[in-house]
A and B are shown apart, each in its own frame.
Chain A
Amino acid sequence: MTTLQQKTPVPAAEPKQGAIPPKLKARPSSMRRKEARFFWLFISPWIIGFVVFLLGPMLASVYLSFTDWDSFTDPNWVGVANYVRLLTEDEVFHKSLWNTFYFAFFSVPLGMAIALWLAALLNKKMRARKIFRTLVYLPHLVPIVAVALIFQMILAPDAGPLNRVLAVFGIDGPAWLFDSEWVKPAIILLSLWQAGGATVLLLAGMKGIPQEFYEAAEIDGASSVRQFWSITFPQLTPIIFFNLIMGIIGAFQVFAQVYILTQGGPDNASQMVVPLLFSEAFRNYHMGYASAISWLLFLIVMALTVVAFVTSRKWVFYETEVKN
């Protein structure tokens, strides 16, 4: 997210002796050149990395998605057969796609709401605030393998703490990871546990809201709830928007939770697109087919991102913009 600020023109050096030497006139442009050099210098690791490690494989995968390739022998051109099979025949893919949408539909908004709620709480002036902030962010730092093991215990059918708590209220908890109805909510639950990552961004955003707004609102007699919805929330919308985009992309790429916790089971009830892609490519040696899956996923994520951007004009508020 680095931006190169447009530097204001260098203040002209005070004329010392009579006429300005032509050298001085050239200074802004040499400055700009220097800046440009630094730009290319700093961006080059990313550009080189992108061209060498991403662009090449990406272009190759476009071609491969139209082939039948086992990754060992030469690819066979099959035209759009992979895409046709994916869209019309492959039930496992349809199921995974549906599961991924289901997961994204619930985990993204819920995750954002929880992150906002936590941020609002942690922004309150209270004792041990720093400790709470650390605690909220901590789950984000725990390796996903450890998280998955913890959740295997939490979600255990009878002995698990979650179902024991439910039992106190007379609810007979489901067998979470073994129940095709409940395995997706279980994975959503796991993803919500890590909502603390977005909280940190929101907190930083809250810090940046000018205090005068709140003072003015207080004088006008606005309640704290009103202040939140009329000042805090609109001021945070760029960050919320950022969280939304990252959330959508992250949700559609969900991998480790599924791969470690359920392996897609029972009977693909928790199978998602990226784990499916992975197993097609590296377990079943269908590299061409997997490439086609990845491009479909790319198009879906791209489409959703475009939708988010288009609608964002209506609700994302940028300070620099003038609204009427």
Chain B
Amino acid sequence: MKLLETNVSRRNVLAGLGATAVGIITLTACGGSNSASSSSGAKDFVMTVWGGDPDKAAYQARLDLAKAKYPDYNITLQIIPNKDYAQKVQTMISGGTGPDIMQVAEDANAYSSKNQLLPLDDYISKASLDLSATFGPVAENWKYKDKTYAVPDRAGAMILYYNKGEFEKKGLKAPTADWTWDDLLSTAKELTGDGVFGFGGTEWWPIWMSFAYQNGGQVIDASSGKPSVNTPEVVEALQFCQDLIFKHKVVPSKVDYANMGAGVGGDAAFASGKVMMNSTGFWNIGSLAKQDKITWDVAPVWRGKEKAISAFGSGLAVSRSSKNPADAFKIIQFMTSAEGQQPILQLGQDVPARQDLQKSQDFLKPSWLKGDVNMQVFPDSTPSIFKPPFIPEWNEMQKAITDAMADFWLGKSDAKTTTDDLQKRLDSIVKA
């Protein structure tokens, strides 16, 4: 600290400032390049996926199987933390060291619309694969302008977790796929009281969009490609979602959740018995099976005028930067075969996209899961999955939704006003 003792000369400060000020300009991260050195005759591939250690284990197990089948392929797995995935892949591609195979999800068409993914239709027809028959409606998720850019890999419908102990205590019937909105509401009412809420939340997009699509609405009109959030169908659905929170008070508001603790949402509140029903994805089964505070089970999501359920999943795509796209597709073809997807369910990582695997005993009675959980809800829900609006501007759309709905989810504006505002914002983002 010697130098800082009243001896800070002007020039020194200026020099230091120059260096600091320029720091703000650059945000460019360095895309790591670790292309494995090739042994003679072998072909090298890099595959990027996101996730944590369980995901790494599952993907590596699958790649080991692929390696056994194609000994000439050296496939390097790059696992990237969820939050950094898009940025890292973006940097890799712009730096000329893009992956050969990449996992894609909601923002897949940010890549496909910019010619960063190869259309797979020729490969698919050559291999005579029938994606719709194999994977069900999620095969549609990875199509953009009538071309297929990814093969479905993981796909689990949104399900309804419910507190079985409390249901039995109050003599309520377990939720079914034929529950209407009114059934959901009346049951939630029965379960609400004493600081406990009947249902976990509607603010998350997979939930309110399920309501909207169940009501015949669409966020992006499928035929015109234009935003359509202020249609009567969407408005009615959203109003119902909001009423659950502020009118019927069966769902915790944002403020209620903030009072429960930092970072507490529907999942945590359900596990601690503060919320009696919660709709989310597959991933809570593993952690809930390990606790004994509550007894629980899973059920299919309710229905509206139509059946429509959100799904969580991802596909595998061939990046434009791949030097051997045909071989990269061969790897994907194997990874998405029944044999290649087997580790997903064996290790309890996720729901495999293949319907035959979802119906297999290995999935329905998994060895990693103790106790009796109604895994049948996944294959049962799969046919009702709706095609979500995975537009190229997905991230911008999400931000606009969050922004425009901020007041709505605090109960400060109604569905009609909110969706009119949102429609305007989306119109300026979506270039269809």
Contact = CB atoms under 8 A, between A and B. Distances in A.
B262 to A, nearest CB: 4
Nearest to B30: A53
A178 B255 contact: yes
A153 B261 contact: yes
A301 B20 CA distance: 11
Interface stretch (A22-30, A114-122, A216-224, A241-249): A241-249
A265 B395 CA distance: 15
B86 A157 contact: no
Contacts of B3: 1-3
A245 B5 contact: no
Interface in A166-197: 175, 177-178, 180
Given A72-B116, A285-B110, A302-B21, A178 B254 contact: yes
Given A72-B115, A205-B6, A242-B8, A265 B406 contact: yes
Contacts of A266: 403, 406-407, 410
Contact of B396 (A2, A282, A284, A309): A284
Interface residues of B, number: 52
A253 B27 contact: no
A3 B6 CA distance: 14
11 contacts: A1-B3, A61-B26, A150-B262, A160-B259, A200-B1, A238-B7, A239-B6, A263-B402, A294-B24, A294-B25, A298-B22
B13 interface: yes
B399 interface: yes
B13 A241 contact: yes
In the complex, the 10 A-B pairs of residues with the closest C-beta atoms, listed nearest first: A208-B5, A266-B406, A152-B262, A159-B259, A267-B406, A204-B1, A283-B395, A282-B87, A238-B8, A72-B114
B93 interface: yes
A268 B399 CA distance: 10
B404 interface: yes
A305 interface: yes
Contacts of A54: 22-23, 25-26
B407 A285 contact: no
Given A57-B25, A305-B21, A267 B407 contact: yes
Given A73-B115, A152-B258, A284 B395 contact: yes
A46 B22 CA distance: 13
Contacts of A200: 1
B431 to A, nearest CB: 12
A298 B10 CA distance: 21
A40 interface: no
Contacts of B393: 284
A108 interface: no
B263 interface: yes
A58 B406 contact: no
B94 interface: yes
A258 interface: no
A157 B399 contact: no
A260 to B, nearest CB: 11
A281 interface: yes
B255 A305 contact: no
A119 to B, nearest CB: 13
A281 B27 CA distance: 9
A195 to B, nearest CB: 17
A42 interface: no
Interface stretch (A9-17, A124-132, A135-143, A272-280): A272-280
**Interface size classification for chain A:** 35 or more
Contacts of A268: 403
Interface string A282-317: 111100001000110110011001000100000000
Contact of B26 (A57, A71, A207, A278): A57
Contact of A283 (B4, B14, B396): B396
A158 B4 contact: no
B28 interface: yes
Residue with the highest number of chain B CB atoms closer than 10 Å, among A160, A246, A282: A282
A239 B8 contact: yes
B224 interface: no
Given A205-B5, A252-B24, A301-B24, 17 more contacts: A50-B22, A61-B26, A70-B114, A152-B262, A157-B258, A158-B259, A208-B7, A263-B402, A267-B406, A277-B27, A279-B399, A281-B27, A283-B399, A284-B393, A284-B396, A298-B21, A318-B9
A319 interface: yes
Contacts of A295: 25
Contacts of B22: 50, 54, 58, 298
A318 B407 CA distance: 52
B371 interface: no
A300 B226 CA distance: 38
B5 A71 contact: no
Interface string B1-44: 10111111110111011011111111110000000000000000
A253 B13 contact: no
Contacts of A46: 19
B110 to A, nearest CB: 6
A253 B261 CA distance: 29
A246 B259 CA distance: 36
Nearest to B402: A265
B90 interface: yes
Interface string A43-64: 0001000100110011001000
A177 B258 CA distance: 9
A201 B403 contact: no
A2 B404 CA distance: 50
B9 A204 contact: no
Interface in B96-128: 110-111, 114-116
A153 B262 contact: yes
Contacts of A53: 26
Contacts of B87: 282
Given A1-B3, A305-B17, A149 B263 contact: yes
